[in-house]
Amino acid sequence: MRGVVFDGKRTEVVDDLEIRDPGPGEVLVEVSAAGLCHSDLSVVDGTIPFPVPVVLGHEGAGVVAAVGAGVTHVQPGDHVSLSTLANCGTCAECDRGRPTMCRKAIGMPQQPFTRAGRPLYQFAANSAFAERTLVKAVQAVRIPEEIPLPAAALIGCGVLTGVGAVLNRARVDRGDTVLVIGTGGIGLNVIQGARIAGALTIVAVDANPAKEEMARRFGATHFLTSTRTVKDILPTGADHAFECVGRVELIRQAVDLLDRHGQAVLLGVPPATAEASFLVSSMYLDKSILGCRYGSSRPQRDIALYAELYRQGHLLLDELVTATYPVEDFEKAAQDAHAGRMARAVLTF
């Protein structure tokens, strides 16, 4: 079968991947579509360290092909959106409703794929850039069949991360003011999460002026190409500032632009050893800096919620899909993503 493989030096679309049958508590999924997220590209450029060879992709949707023993919530033929969160479901963190903090879901990559007899790693417990992938049952969330699979694919990462950061981590309330730095796929979902939450003022900042139309479509009330004039709109600062780029100087700006009792939420992914600074004295105004993993989500609940919000017209998904590419055109899709020409590129099989 076809898939996108990174061997540590180059990325290649291959056609000789094999995958094992599902074991107990596992689901085999025929992937129909997968979003190209910057996290996939960050594995290739080394920003995110990951063992190789690895099958890339982590934002996918498809149709259940087979289930292992004990799986009852999905069956062959069901449409599913895939979560990257392979949490155990039984530890203290899972029991508290914080599956993103499950230690068994982090740093334990599996090898369900083989190529010419050699095992390959699975990226983010998902590897959606393959015609078939194998996930834990908890990662497969059934969705209504009327939701187009290219749009549904984006729920599993970009929407969970961006909208979830607003609703679950920051808990933006009606009338709040929100600053969003970076309007790529994650930033746009932060914007629409803030709109759904009832934020009064949503200021989007992106160096690319061509992104204004999309930002406003998703709910931004203001658009700037620099943070220098944010205080003209929010004289006392923002209640919530989301950094969606992954640059330490922008993290500092997010903190500096907070109002009293404001919180900066970090969503961008800088290099693993990057360090950021801030004025300690400013924190005594009850400011907070919050990390956020995967939108602090509970995928079985949140994916179903976001699917319903889409059906009711509150959540934009189709608009996120800037272009679709057959998987064979992965390199072109990656080049377009690097150039910042799209909200999300989607690979299809």
Residue with tokens 């799209």: 342
DSSP characters over 301-313: HHHHHHHHHHHTT
Helix (H, G, I), strand (E, B) or coil at 80: strand
Helix (H, G, I), strand (E, B) or coil at 237: coil
Q: How many Å separate Cα 239 from the centre of its chain?
A: 23
Specify whether the CB–CB gap between 233 and 221 falls below 8 A. no
Structure token pair of residue 117 = 């007899």
Residue 54 to residue 3: CA distance in whole angstroms:
10
Residue 46 to residue 222: CA distance in whole angstroms:
35
Nearest to residue 264, comparing CAs of 305, 314, 230?
Answer: 230
Q: What is the pLDDT of residue 47?
A: 85
Q: What is the pLDDT of residue 342?
A: 74
Q: What is the pLDDT of residue 33?
A: 98
Beta-carbon contacts of 49 under 8 Å, excluding residues fewer than 6 positions away, are: 272
Residue 245 to residue 79: CA distance in whole angstroms:
32
Beta-carbon contacts of 138 under 8 Å, excluding residues fewer than 6 positions away, are: 83, 85, 86, 87, 89, 99, 299, 300
Q: What is the pLDDT of residue 343?
A: 77
Q: What is the pLDDT of residue 94?
A: 94
- 53: preceding bond cis by omega (within 30 degrees): yes
Beta-carbon contacts of 200 under 8 Å, excluding residues fewer than 6 positions away, are: 174, 175, 176, 177
pLDDT in tens, the chain (349 residues): 999 999 999 999 999 999 999 999 999 999 999 999 888 989 999 888 899 999 999 999 999 999 999 999 999 999 999 999 999 999 999 999 999 999 988 777 899 999 999 999 999 999 999 999 999 999 999 999 999 999 999 999 999 999 999 999 999 999 999 999 999 999 999 999 999 999 999 999 999 999 999 999 999 999 999 999 999 999 999 999 999 999 999 999 999 999 999 999 999 988 889 999 999 998 999 999 999 999 999 999 999 999 999 999 999 999 999 899 999 999 999 998 877 667 789 999 9
Residue 208 to residue 343: CA distance in whole angstroms:
12
Other CB atoms within a 10 A radius of the CB of residue 197 amount to 21
Cross-strand bridge partners of residue 265: 242, 290
With 0-12 CB in 10 A as exposed, 13-18 as middle and 19+ as buried, what is 150? buried
Which DSSP state fits 239?
Answer: E
Q: What share of the chain is helix, strand, coil (3-state, %, to 5)?
A: 35, 30, 40
With 0-12 CB in 10 A as exposed, 13-18 as middle and 19+ as buried, what is 11? middle
